[in-house]
Amino acid sequence: MAIIRTTVLGYPRIGLRRELKRAVEAYWSGTSDADALAQTAAHLRRTTWETLRDAGLDEIPSNTFSLYDHVLDHAVLFDAIPARFADLTGLERYFAMARGTSGVAPLEMTKWFDTNYHYLVPELKPDTTFCLDRTHNKPVEEYRAAASLGITTRPVLLGPVSFLLLSKPAADAPKDFRTLDLLDGLLEVYRELLAELAAHGAPWVQLDEPVLAADRTPDELNAVRMAYERLAAVPVGTERPKIVVASYFAPLDTALPVLARTPIDGIALDLVAGARDLDRVASAGLAGKTVFAGLVDGRNVWRCDLAAALSTAASLLGSVGELVVSTSCSLMHVPLDLDQETSLPADLRSRLAFARQKVDEVVLLGRALREGRSAIEPELTAASEALATPVAGAVDARVRARLEALGEGTRRSDYATRVAVQQSASRLPLLPTTTIGSFPQTREIRAARADLRSGRIDEEQYNAIIRAEIDRVIALQEDIGLDVLVHGEPERNDMVQYFAERLNGFASTEHGWVQSYGSRYVRPPILFGDVSRPEPITVEWTTYAQSRTTKPVKGMLTGPVTMLAWSFVRDDQPLAETARQVALALRDEIRDLEAAGIRIIQVDEPALRERLPLRSADQPDYIAWAVAAFRLATSGVSDSTQIHSHMCYSEFGEIVDVIDELDADVTSVEAARSRMELVADLAKVGYERGIGPGVYDIHSPRIPSVTEIETSLRLALEAVEVDRLWVNPDCGLKTRRYAEVEPALRNMVEAARRVRREVSPA
């Protein structure tokens, strides 16, 4: 019988009470120092290792912790540091690469595959020379720290092929340069690192190659083969630990036999999102390898169907060498501990499992495989009963009847007709200036929200505070000179959570935090049932803002795809049907905004690219229902109402044709860190609608100069006609301070005026 062990591929690093966020932000603000930050980090790492050990896992990962981002950690570890950071050292340099400084731009940031996690994109050149950081060898240091506690861990590294393919050529790199060209030099550094880990006693190392979950070219698969033939060619022991290559988020498909033929010791399979790999295991030649079976979902919060997972595991036993029961991916994508949630309905709570509970599920599966099903019979029964018990209010016959009657919804007039109507009614100048929606959430606003929750103030007092903040934001925008205003969203805690709390079919957590990037955490709501809107959500605050100005105010909504992508979504019906339900609720809200006199309505879809399946064969179905959901939400208004959308921090160049299919009148996109790449991509496919490429990066505290923004605008004008170009930041301003926002927006408006005078001197 195969040897059975248990593990997880990673674990949340933020702390039960978001200790990492508080420590990092205290360091940034100067109220704490590097020693205090290091102490918090050490405490969080130790707590994780001890928690996983005490839960009964056989193997525990290390080097999954990061102060900001694990890809950034690898860039620093391998000395892949752009020259503009050469004058900085230590934490100052590390955080400058993540956030920038007043004079230095940060690394580009984009989505980690189809998740809401953002990673920092290393910049490479043909002359990039990799070398191991001898002053802070993080994987070795963390392995030794765990060993000092008596805990033997499995260090986790981003694999060499993924590191290179997730990187990008530096701005001054030759156009024919491929980051994968640097593989030979990088492999030498990996061999050196593996040897050091082996010397310190590491029995296994996990090399994550998530790029293998996407379509790969023959040349890229050949690079994978070559990389792991070289890394695993040396003997296990003093020269290297055993190597397991992990991929996740989709099937390995053609990469599975490639890996199987290399001398690596193990392969980790995501058998939740990549279940079809099961059909290839028997023929892939894995009988001599250890297979890490990702049976417990690391991406969603629903309880594992233990009986089904056991059946899957049993089907592997005759085809693999050793079997390790694991999670499908790192648990960093789910909240930490369900035990912290005391307000969720009992029938819903019984169906959930957060990271800590998923560890228990892995341990239970391992026990059942070793000792037989009878060893966990009570847990199997409890899981089956919970999954079979419907959640109260999950089914709404009225919603289903409305969707059936509506069909696919109605289409608006063609864009040429709409834009003519909108331009005749508009008094906007060329290069109209606006923002994406949110303004800084001040300490006073957050305190007012907390006071309302605790009962220290009543609804009337809270509303007065919000009205005063809207007054201030409207007055500030008029003083700055923006052309299209927003109400600033002071009443909103999060662009998804705020709406979820006001829609039937969603539940919210109290402590269900998940890292989005750096110190930015979100609490994804749980979409458990049919979705409907009991009453208008945004109309009151938007119309109040419009009453305070003669300039147009945009209504601000979160689109149906993003509502799904940034929630934990029910898995008992197709995503397409759930998306239609959310779209129907938003359609009602949009029509109410229009009826209240709001003529510009923005429906944000920053997660549109994020949700795109990694395998091309799976993408057409997603694109069809995503586009249909957006159009269903936005097609119920007249031609004179201008529909905007916004997208950020993903590789949108890959779906420019989909952006066109959404049929929004104006689309604003992240473009500053990527040097307006998407604008050129849109021009190539003949995109003819309004476009607002972000002219400065809001995820950095630095304030762009007028000249810098002018340069971005002129670059955009090389690909876009002036009458289609809007001027806006990359994203919402919620996470910034007014001391940064106000001068940046003033510079943006001045840059637009200067360019406007050139293109329209009259």
* 658-705 tens-digit pLDDT: 888 899 999 998 776 666 666 777 777 777 889 998 888 887 788 999
Side chain identity at 22, as an amino acid letter?
R
Question: Partners of 512 in the beta sheet?
Answer: none
Tell me whether residue 287 is in a domain. Answer: yes
Cα 711 to Cα 444: distance, rounded to the nearest angstrom: 36
Do residues 466 and 376 share a domain?
A: no
Q: Are strands 526-532 and 504-507 parallel, antiparallel or unpaired?
A: antiparallel
Do residues 748 and 695 touch, judged by C-beta distance below 8 A?
Answer: yes
Side chain identity at 171, as an amino acid letter?
A
Tell me whether residue 135 is in a domain. Answer: no
Of 585, 468, 485, 474, the residue nearest 529 (C-alpha)? 585
Side chain identity at 103, as an amino acid letter?
G
Of 225, 168, 236, the residue nearest 197 (C-alpha)? 236
Tell me whether residue 612 is in a domain. Answer: yes
Do residues 409 and 586 touch, judged by C-beta distance below 8 A?
Answer: no
Domain end marker among 377, 392, 407: 392
pTM to 2 decimals? 0.91
pLDDT, tens digit, 9 for 90 and up, residues 746-756: 999 999 999 99
Residue-level pLDDT at 649: 56
Query: 412 in the Ramachandran plot: left (φ > 0), alpha (ψ -120 to 50) or beta?
Result: beta
- Please list the alpha-helical segments (H only) found in 7-58: 19-29, 34-55
Residue-level pLDDT at 407: 77
Do residues 367 and 435 share a domain?
A: no
Cα 376 to Cα 386: distance, rounded to the nearest angstrom: 16
Cα 574 to Cα 388: distance, rounded to the nearest angstrom: 18
Of 431, 430, 549, the residue nearest 479 (C-alpha)? 549
Dihedral of the alpha carbons of 252, 258, 264, 267, in degrees to the nearest 10: 20
Tell me whether residue 108 is in a domain. Answer: no
From 168-172, 448-452, 531-535, 606-610, the region with the lowest mean pLDDT:
606-610
Catalytic machinery residues = 699
Residue 138 has pLDDT above 60, yes or no: yes
Side chain identity at 550, as an amino acid letter?
T
C-alpha distances (whole Å) from 384 to each of 127, 220, 391, 433, 572 are: 57, 43, 14, 55, 15
Do residues 300 and 437 share a domain?
A: no
Q: What is the CATH number of the domain that holds 352?
A: 3.20.20.210
Cα 727 to Cα 430: distance, rounded to the nearest angstrom: 10
More confident residue, 171 or 53: 53
Of 615, 650, 656, the residue nearest 216 (C-alpha)? 615
Residue-level pLDDT at 683: 72
Do residues 363 and 447 share a domain?
A: no
Do residues 339 and 274 share a domain?
A: yes
Question: Partners of 727 in the beta sheet?
Answer: 433
pLDDT, tens digit, 9 for 90 and up, residues 600-647: 999 999 888 888 899 999 999 999 999 999 999 999 999 999 999 998
More confident residue, 670 or 367: 367
Residue 71 has pLDDT above 80, yes or no: yes
For 289, half-sphere exposure in the C-beta direction (CA atoms, 13 angstrom radius) is 26
Helix (H) or strand (E) holding 595: helix 575-595
Tokens 């720290």, residue?
Answer: 145
Residues near 123 by Cβ (< 8 Å), separated by ≥ 6? 80, 82, 107, 108, 167, 168, 169, 170, 171
Residue-level pLDDT at 150: 98
Q: 707: helix, coil or strand?
A: helix
Tell me whether residue 236 is in a domain. Answer: no
- Please give the residue range of the domain that contains residue 717: 419-759
Do residues 434 and 293 share a domain?
A: no
Do residues 669 and 692 touch, judged by C-beta distance below 8 A?
Answer: yes
Tokens 């508080």, residue?
Answer: 22
Q: Report which DSSP code applies to 410.
A: -
Tokens 């829609």, residue?
Answer: 503
Cα 499 to Cα 555: distance, rounded to the nearest angstrom: 14
Phi/psi for 721 (5° steps) reads: -65, 145
Cα 715 to Cα 62: distance, rounded to the nearest angstrom: 44
Of 664, 692, 688, 665, the residue nearest 676 (C-alpha)? 692
In this structure, is the dihedral angle defined by the CA atoms of residues 145, 149, 150 and 152, taken in order, positive or negative? negative
Averaged pLDDT for residues 57-81: 98
Cα 483 to Cα 748: distance, rounded to the nearest angstrom: 12
Residues near 711 by Cβ (< 8 Å), separated by ≥ 6? none
Residue-level pLDDT at 424: 85
Residue-level pLDDT at 677: 67
Confidence bin at 762 (pLDDT 50/70/90): low
Tell me whether residue 285 is in a domain. Answer: yes
Mean pLDDT of the chain: 93
Do residues 493 and 361 share a domain?
A: no
Query: 518 in the Ramachandran plot: left (φ > 0), alpha (ψ -120 to 50) or beta?
Result: left
Tell me whether residue 239 is in a domain. Answer: no
Confidence bin at 411 (pLDDT 50/70/90): confident
CA-atom Rg of the chain in angstroms = 26
Please provide the DSSP assignment of 230-298 as one string: HHTSSPSSSS--EEEEE--SS--TTHHHHHHTSS-SEEEEETTTTGGGHHHHHHHT-TTSEEEEEEE-S
Do residues 557 and 633 share a domain?
A: yes
Number of domains in the chain: 2
Do residues 598 and 546 touch, judged by C-beta distance below 8 A?
Answer: yes
Percent of the chain with pLDDT over 70: 97
Do residues 378 and 489 share a domain?
A: no
Residue-level pLDDT at 658: 85
Cα 750 to Cα 762: distance, rounded to the nearest angstrom: 17
From 234-238, 254-258, 289-293, the region with the lowest mean pLDDT:
234-238
Side chain identity at 32, as an amino acid letter?
S
Q: 60: helix, coil or strand?
A: strand
Residues near 622 by Cβ (< 8 Å), separated by ≥ 6? 575, 611, 612, 613
Do residues 699 and 745 share a domain?
A: yes
Do residues 367 and 431 share a domain?
A: no
The b-or-e profile of 137-175 (16+ CB within 10 A means b, else e) is bbbbebbbbbbeeebbbbbbbbbbbbbbbbbbbbeebee
Tell me whether residue 213 is in a domain. Answer: no
- Count other C-beta atoms under 10 Å from residue 314's C-beta: 13
Side chain identity at 468, as an amino acid letter?
A
Strands (E), 619-737: 642-647, 666-669, 690-693
Do residues 651 and 741 share a domain?
A: yes
Do residues 387 and 351 touch, judged by C-beta distance below 8 A?
Answer: yes
Residue-level pLDDT at 698: 83
pLDDT, tens digit, 9 for 90 and up, residues 503-556: 999 999 999 999 999 999 999 999 999 999 999 999 999 999 999 999 999 999
Residue-level pLDDT at 675: 64
Domain end marker among 392, 411, 435: 392
Strands (E), 600-680: 600-604, 642-647, 666-669
pLDDT, tens digit, 9 for 90 and up, residues 709-727: 999 899 888 888 899 999 9
